[in-house]
Structure 1
Amino acid sequence: MSKDYFLSSLIKCIRKLYDKKIIAYPTEAMFGLGCDPTSEKAVKRLLDLKKRSIKKGLILVASNYNQIKMYINESKLSAQQKKTMFFHWPGPYTFLVPANSLVPCWLTGQFDTIAVRISAHFSIIKLCNVFGKALVSTSANISNMSPCLTREDVLKDFGKDFPVLYGHIGNESHPSKIINIVNGKLIRYV
């Protein structure tokens, strides 16, 4: 990976995030689309772009727990549940956790939970660290279509000027597993 090209694309993506725009970036298994989770306008723009229902809720991805802590109602998590999450993080595990009552419905959808992941992927770590907070993370595709696996796929599907963080997807062959930490139910395992 060209360090200069990566840094240039990182700066461009961070500027877009601050401007409440959507970006694409490599994740563990595919390219993702992301935006600032505190911007209703950005999140709704992302949902429109994907043709995704707001009712489904979204995943937040972070480089560390402090970036997602404010979204979680920790009083509803046991020490064992937290231990389980931290055992799997950082990594390709997304947990549905009780949402803090202040988390907006554009993130939780029709649920009282929020999906969160602490990633081990270099690009996500850099993005979240430089941006200073978690990102909305969803696959880079129109709903029910195949996800983008390369930068070129993103540019083909979303336009040649779409902001894409330079880099490669990780070694996972499937999207992250999603586990409801409260009841232990496996929501997505592919």
Structure 2
Amino acid sequence: MITTSVAKAAICLKKGQVLAYPTEAVWGLGCDPYNEHAFHEILRLKQRPLEKGVILLAANISQIEHLLTTLPSQMREQVIASWSNHSAIERATTWLLPAGDEIPSWIKGNHSKVAVRVTTHSLCVALCQAFNGFIVSTSANPAGLSPARSLQEATRYFAQELQYLNGDLGLSQEPSRIIDAETGEVIRA
């Protein structure tokens, strides 16, 4: 199924289906992060090992605020500012945050932290709001291939194996940078 309806796409996620959708820079694959079966379907489609973990994508700070509570206030403010003061053409920032017990182990992979991004991409914001929570976001490509940058590329990779939310890609030229919020280490520049 290919749709332009955010409501239909959110229903697909709630039903445990995998969804391809445009993000700030590349197409992503997403699912309900609490649905282990859907998550393992993403790993199968991508031929990605469980150990790597994935990014969680949120519409706003309130959806992930519970993950910020253990950060020192200055770091918490820096993380929030990077998401709040982000323009559409800037490269997005994903932060590695302390993961509480409420984040499933399969999302974290072999890590004690979880990768989180609050998006400014309007379609992704609407999708997370319609889903009523954060969703999995990992690039739409099999391991070793370039991330899809169009619906056509995504369907070439995955054909009829998943659902598609068609829309415009964001204006960023590169996938998000990834920074560890506790150490400041840049994981992906």
Question: Given the two structures, how large is their TM-score scaled by the length of structure 2?
Answer: 0.91
Runs of 4+ in 1 over 6 A off after TM superposition: none
* In the alignment, structure 1 residue 80 sits paired with structure 2 residue 71: no
Quote the Cα distance in structure 1 between the aligned partners of 2:125 and 2:102.
25
Following superposition, the deviation at residue 49 of structure 1 comes to: 1.0
| Paired residues, number | 181
Quote the Cα distance in structure 1 between the aligned partners of 2:53 and 2:161.
27
Structure number with higher helix proportion: 1
- Report the equivalent of 1:186: 186
Quote the Cα distance in structure 2 between the aligned partners of 1:102 and 1:67.
13
Q: Once the two structures are superposed, what CA deviation does each residue of 1:38-57 show, in whole Å capped at 9, x if it has no partner?
A: 11111111111111111111
Runs of 5+ in structure 1 lacking a partner?
none
Quote the Cα distance in structure 1 between the aligned partners of 2:94 and 2:116.
5
1:164 counterpart SS class: strand
- Report the equivalent of 1:19: 15
Question: Given the two structures, how large is their TM-score scaled by the length of structure 1?
Answer: 0.90
Mapping of 1:1-190 within 5 angstroms? 6-7=4-5, 10-70=6-66, 72=67, 74-75=69-70, 77-90=71-84, 91=86, 92-160=92-160, 162-189=162-189
2:178 counterpart SS class: strand
Contact in 2 for aligned 1:12/1:163 (Cα 8 Å) = no
Give % identity.
Answer: 35
Quote the Cα distance in structure 2 between the aligned partners of 1:29 and 1:73.
25
Root-mean-square deviation (Å): 1.4
1:74 counterpart SS class: coil
Following superposition, the deviation at residue 160 of structure 1 comes to: 4.2
